[in-house]
Structures are given as structure tokens and as C-alpha cells.
Amino acid sequence: MQSCFDVCDGCAAHTDGAWVPQSRVPPYRLNASIYKPAGLKLSAVSPQHYGRCDDVATSVRQLYEWQPSRCSLQPFTVEASCNTLRGKQLLFAGDSTMWQLFLSFVLMHGGRLGRNLVMTSAATDLSASVCDDQVRAVFVRSDLLLWSNHHWEYTQARKMDTTVKGGSFLYRAVAADLVLYGIGHHFPRIIDRADKMGAAEQLEARRAFFMRNLNHTLASTIAHRAAAGHHPSTVTLLGATTPVSGCSRYTRPISLTESLASGAEDQPTNQYTQRWQMMPRFNQVATAIHHPSVHRTAPHMRQYGHATNSCSPSPPLPSSPLPSLRPPPTSPPQCTHAAPRPRP
């Protein structure tokens, strides 16, 4: 069967398919014990622990893989992935969903988390060694991806949302071989609070903060990395997920219809449901930003391997864990709003 990435350009043929149960054991279990060696003060009841689905399971959960119906995807293997990544350094920067992606990436490759000497209760700046110490992965928690080394900017943002965290990632974004950005989940609250603050004549400027901030970060990243000899295709922007509350009640992948029903059912008691439903809008805004050389991935591509912690109903892309891993083109990409075609 023809490869999904050769069927057509930008038609997302891989999304037409179904989840298929597998007989093999999942590559890892996500439980609170993995955090202690890294020096993180996380337990099974900590909000920052994302393994509750594994914690409450009485047995090893069924492993599912996405199988397209009209084309084929190359199966993920640790060996092939490590051969591609060998000698590389990867930066994962963004909100807590990027921490989940980083953690899943490390565990899928049999990696080890570095030691967090400050013993924090949340992962904000952590490194890991994967592929037999041949690949370095780094995570920086930066909920808004502000391109700044000054804490003052995040201090201003915290006036609207005290939960916002902002680590500095600028230098590592220039030095890394591959950069993966992901934001979105903190912006609905910030924009909602911004509507109630400041002068009325500045309302539109405050509402445009998401696009302007992301545009500035992408432009700065590309410019500084270009000066260091990195091609723009080594930067990947990942779309925000649309979570479904109460993941532990599901023992199998759910459909989009089921996810919508779940959201409507939980909305009266879940304060985040309304904000989660705004995520597709932020993804749509992000695709309009004029940096066509940056790889953009849809939310379904956030699902990396076995551990997805938002119960997203969309199909994943198992054949290409990191869509930006391809040789740079011989000439700069042409100006277009269409997302570049990833390759397996």
C-alpha cells in the first residue's frame, strides 16, 4: 500500500482509519515512581503527575495503534528513531502538555531523566539522556513562550494568571539541533482576564497578544538559529490538544462524538471545559502566522506513542514521531500558508 505521505500533498490521508488493538505489552507504564530518581517531589496525588490512568488500572492497559485505511504508515521502532537522532540535542519548550510529550519521548526511547537538584514539585527545567546516551533531550517549562530573558515580562503576565510558569529557553533554542514548541492552554484565561484590565482603546491589542507573541518568538528563533547555521525546518510548532476530563474512565480510544458528549456532560462541574473548547481556535490562529518555513503539526500529532494524557480523540501519527526530522531542502521553502508535508 502507498505511503500516506505520498498519496497527496496536505490532504492528511493518514487520518482516515481506526484504532486497532495490539497484543504486545505497552512500552512503559507511567506511574509516580519514575519521578523520584529525577529529584522531583511528585507523588500519585500530585497535580503534575500525569499517570493516573496507569495508577488506577488493575492490569496493564490494552495497547492500540492507529491504522490508516487508504495508505500505510511506517511502524515506529526505537532503533530507527535513535539512528535518525544520534548525536542530536532536542529542545522541548512550552506548557505542561509539552512536558508530557517530553516525558513520553524519553520513556519510549528507554531514556533516563536528569537529576533535578532543587527538588521542585513541578518539572520546569529538566534534561534527559536517550538512545544509550547518544541523544540529549531538554525540557523548559515556558507557558507563554515569551522570547525574553527578563522575568519582568512573566511577572506582568502573572497579574492575569498566577499559575503561569516561565523558564528561559533562548540560548538553548539557538544551540539545539531540533526545537519543538507547544503552547495554547494558558491563553484563554489570560485573554479573558486581559479583557477586564487596561484601557478600552487597547482591547484589540490585548486580544492580539497570542498571535503577536507567537509570531515574535518564531521570528526570533528562526533568525537566531539561521545565524548559527540551522535551517528553519528544524523548528516544529505543535498544535494545542483538546483534552477530555476523566481520562481514567476510558479503557479504549474514544471517538470525536464521545469526546464532545463527555465535554458537554462535564462542563457544569469542570472549570476548564470551556477553555479547552477554545483550543481549535488558537490552532487556527497559529496557522495564519507568516512563518511558512516552520513545521506545524495538528493536535493529533501531539500523541507520541503510548502515553497521551489528555485523551485526545484524534488519530496520532505513529510513523513520524518528530515530523521535522528530514534533510533540509536544497533551497528555501516557498512562501505559502500550507503546512509543509512531513515525511516518515
Q: pLDDT at residue 72 above 50?
A: yes
* C-alpha cell recorded at residue 201: 482603546
pLDDT of residue 80: 94
Q: pLDDT at residue 121 above 70?
A: no
pTM for the model stands at 0.78
Average pLDDT, the chain: 75
Are 198 and 156 a contacting pair, CB within 8 Å? no
Q: 255 lies in a domain?
A: yes
Q: 200 lies in a domain?
A: yes
Q: 268 lies in a domain?
A: yes
Predicted confidence band of residue 265 (pLDDT cuts 50, 70, 90)? confident
Give me the percent of the chain exceeding a pLDDT of 70: 73
Q: 313 lies in a domain?
A: no
Q: pLDDT at residue 179 above 90?
A: yes
- Tell me which range, 171-180, 285-294, 323-332, is most confidently predicted by mean pLDDT: 171-180
How far, in Å, CA of 1 to CA of 4, rounded? 9
Q: pLDDT at residue 319 above 60?
A: no
pLDDT of residue 79: 94
Q: 266 lies in a domain?
A: yes
Q: How many domains does the chain have?
A: 1
pLDDT of residue 250: 79
Give me the percent of the chain exceeding a pLDDT of 90: 22
Q: 296 lies in a domain?
A: yes
Per-residue pLDDT averaged across 43-50, rounded?
Answer: 72
Per-residue pLDDT averaged across 189-217, rounded?
Answer: 74
Q: 143 lies in a domain?
A: yes
Are 61 and 24 a contacting pair, CB within 8 Å? no
Residues 205-236: tens digit of each pLDDT = 767 777 788 888 999 999 999 999 999 999 99
Q: 264 lies in a domain?
A: yes
Per-residue pLDDT averaged across 102-107, rounded?
Answer: 91
pLDDT of residue 210: 72
Show the domain range for 210: 33-62+73-302
Per-residue pLDDT averaged across 159-186, rounded?
Answer: 87
